[in-house]
Structure 1
Amino acid sequence: MKKNYKVVPEWWFQVMLVGVIGLAIFSCEGFGKQLQLPYWGVLLAAGLAFLFTLPIGIIAAQTNQGPGLNVITELIIGYLYPGRPLANVAFKTYGYVSMSQAIMFLGDVKLGHYMKIPPRSMFLVQLVGTIVASSVYFGTSWWLLETVDGICDVTKVAEGSPWTCPGDDVFYNASIIWGVVGPLRMFGRLGLYSKMNYFFLAGLLAPLPVWILSALYPDKKWIKLINMPIIIGATGSMPPTRSVNYLMWGLVGIIFNFYVYRRYKGWWARHNYVLSAGLDAGVAFMAIVVYVALQGQNIEGMNWWGLELDDHCQLAKCPTAPGIKVNDVCPVFT
C-alpha cells in the first residue's frame, strides 16, 4: 500500500484532534454552560478515550467485540462532579462514545486496507461522512422532538405510538443514576449497593482461571480461546438489545466459525473479514427495507421468530417504598 499510495500525514490527525477538542470545550463552556461540563471534564474524557483506545482496540481486532467505557466514565464524573445529569452524559459521550467511534473508524480503515482503497481517500470519505451523518442525526432529532407529540412517552405505546426510544431511555436513566443521585449515594458508602463494587474485583480476576487452565493443559488449545472480557461484556448492550439479537449472533457465529472454518479453512482465511462487513451491511439494508415495506405501511403485529420471549421486566416500574400498592403485578414491600 505504501508503494502505491500516499499515506495520511500524522499532522492531519493532530490538527483534527486539537480542532475537535477545542469545539467540544466551546460547546460545554459556551451556550450559557447548559451542558454543565467544565473544560477540565472534556480534557479528562479525551484522556480516557486516548488511554483505552489501544487496549480495547486490540480486543476488538481479535474478537470483533470490545468492552465499553460507559460505566467507568459515568462512575468517574459521578464522583468528581455529582448532581449534574447533563455533565454526566456529556462526559460519557466524549469519553466513551468517542472511543467506540474511533474503533469503528479503525475497522473501516482496516477494511479499506484489505480492499486496497487509497488511505487519503479513506480519510476524506470518513471526514465527509462524519459531517453529513452528524448533521442528519442532529436535524432528524430536532425535527422529531418538534413534530412528534409525546415522543418517547411509554404510556402512549398502547395508543399505537411506535416511539418507545429504548436507547434514549437507557441514556436518560444513566444520567439520573450516575448524575443526579450519584455513585456515592448509590454504590458508595452512602448507598445500599456498595457491595456491587466487588464485581470490579471479580472482573479483574475472571481471566485468571482461564490462564491457569491453559497452563495446566497446554494440549487443550481451545482453552486459550476463552475470552472472559468478551463473555462478560457481550451482554452490556442487553438494554435495549433483545434476546433475538444474541440468538442470531450466536447462530451465525457457530455456523461460520466452526462448520465453515473447518471445512473451507483456506477460503475462510481470505474472505472472513469481507463476509463480516457484508453481514453488517445486510443488517443495515434490511432495517431500511423492513421500515419502508412494513412499518411505513402501518403493517403491525408481525410475529418475528425470537421475539416471542418476553424481554421486559414487569417489576421495573414498581415502587420499592414499603406499603405502597399500585396494581396486582407489583409486589408490596414491607
Structure 2
Amino acid sequence: MSVWRWISTRGVVLAGAWLVAMSPAMAQESGSEAVEDAPAVSGVDAQVSEVEGEFAENGDRQNAYDAILAQGTEAYNGGDYEGARQRFVEAAQVLPQRPEAYRNLARANFWMERYAEATHHYDHYLRLAPEAADAEQIRSERRMAANQAGGEGYVVPGSQRQALEALERELNRGQALTASGGGAYGLYRTVLRMGYAAPELGSVQARLAQRLLDEHDARLLGEASGLVPTLTAADWAVQRERLQLASELSGDALLTDMVERRLMVVEAAEALVDGRYERAIRRAGEAAEANPDLRFVGWYRVAALAAGGQPAEALTALDQFRAQAGWDEATDARAGVLRAQLLQALGRYEEAARELEAALR
C-alpha cells in the first residue's frame, strides 16, 4: 500500500515534511546514512547524537544497546515493524534511561497502528529528552498518534502488571536469587520476556543489583566463623552468579568495584574447595587485602596453607591473623586447635599439647 493510499484510508492529512521526518533513518545511530531504498511508509533521520552525551552509561551495556538498536533500525528500514519493535524493546530494557529506543519504538508502534502504545512511548522519550533537537517534531507525532488513538490511553497488560507487582514484593522482602534461578531476578526476567520497557526499569535494575550484592554478603557473613568455607561448590557457584548479575544490572561504579572485590573472595573459596591450594593461597591474600570488612577471609589463606602442606607458613599466617581478629572465645578455641595441629606437623609436640589443652578448656 502506498503512503498516500494509507493516509487517505485513515482520513489523515499528513504534511510531506512530517513523512520525511518519520523515515527509517531516524532509528539509526548518529552519523549513519539513511537507507536509500527504505519503504516510503517508514523512517526518519538520526537524532541520537544530540542526547547521547547526557545519557552515557556503562561501556558493555552501551555496546549492547547500540548493537540492538542497530538491529532494530535494519528491521525498521526493511519494513519489518514487528521485528523492529521487538529489538527496540530489548534496547530499552538494556538501558532504560536512554531515550532513543522509546522514540523508535513509538514510531514502529505507530506504523503497526498501535496508536495508544505509540503515544505512551513518545511520552517516555519526551520525559527523558525534553530539550532534544527533535522534541517539537516528536510532540507533533505524539499528537498525531493520540488523535488516531481516539482518546484511548495505553493500559499496561494485566499479566505484565501482575508480574511487576510480584517483582516489587520480592524486591522488598524476598530472595534476590535462588539456586534454581528464581527469586526477584527470575521475576525480573519474566517481566522482560513480557516486553515491559519503561524508564522506571532503571530503578528496578539498580535495586535488584543492590539486593543481589546484599544477599551475597549476608550469605558470607553467616559463615564468618569458619576456618574453611562451609558452603559447597554449588553454593559458591550461586554466590558467583549473584555478583555477576549485580554487575550486569548496575552502571554504578562503586557497586561494580565492590563486586570485583567480592569476586576475589569467591575465587579464593572455590579454589580451596576444589583443592587448588596455590591459587587459594594467592587469591585469599589478595581478597583479604581488598575486603578489610570481611575479616574472616584470612581464614581461607591459613586453611589453604595448612591443606597445601605448608605448616610453617600456615602457623605464621594464623598467628598474625589471630592477633588482630578479635574473635569470641569459641572461635578462638577453634583457632587454637588448628594451631596445635600445625605445631604437631612441625614436630613441636610439647607446644602442640599445651596449645590443645588450652583450646579445650
* TM tier relative to shorter chain: under 0.3
- The TM-score normalised by the length of structure 1 is 0.23
TM-score normalised by L of structure 2: 0.22
Q: Which has more radius of gyration?
A: 2
